[in-house]
Amino acid sequence: MTFTRRLSHLATLCALSAAALLAGCVEAPKQQGLSDVLERPAERALFTGIRAYDDAQYAEAEAALLNALAIGLSSPKDRATASKLLAFVYCTSNRVPACEAAFRSARQSDPAFALTRSEAGHPVWGPVYRKAVAQ
């Protein structure tokens, strides 16, 4: 093996070693679990609101979801979820203007927000949703 060729191999080995060392120095992003997320007050309020909604405790759900939005949810998707559930609560309690405003708020929070096909077909809030997103 010629000197030049050995030098080329040595340079390649040095480059690979340096890359491996640098890769070891880069810290992997910390994985967050549910308990980490629930330490944040707004996210805990959202979780409480979702649970209350699922348990048909609509007054409690409304209070918790409004609190989550007021405290400041960090994720646009979470803000949209809170607004969507508020819209459902408002529509089922015949507060149509508030329902429509909540759907608009969900869309403003997350432009990709959309109801699922079954949610959009709901006879109570489906028509309000379609009106809100058409504006």
The string of DSSP letters for 86-101 reads HHHHHHHTT-HHHHHH
Contact indicator for 83, 109 with CB cutoff of 8 Å:
yes
Q: What angle do CA 36, 42, 43 make, to 5 degrees?
A: 45
Q: Is residue 22 part of a domain?
A: no
pTM: 0.75
Tens digit of each residue's pLDDT (9 = 90 or more) over 80-95: 999 999 999 999 999 9
Tens digit of each residue's pLDDT (9 = 90 or more) over 10-45: 444 444 444 444 455 556 567 778 777 778 999 999
- We report the CATH number of the domain holding residue 113 as 1.25.40
Mean residue pLDDT across the chain: 84
**The total number of structural domains that make up the chain:** 1
Give the pLDDT score at 39.
81
Cβ atoms within 10 Å of 11's Cβ, excluding its own: 10
Q: Is residue 7 part of a domain?
A: no
Residue-number span of the structural domain to which 112 is assigned: 37-134
The stretch 50-72 carries a mean pLDDT of 97
Contact indicator for 72, 103 with CB cutoff of 8 Å:
no
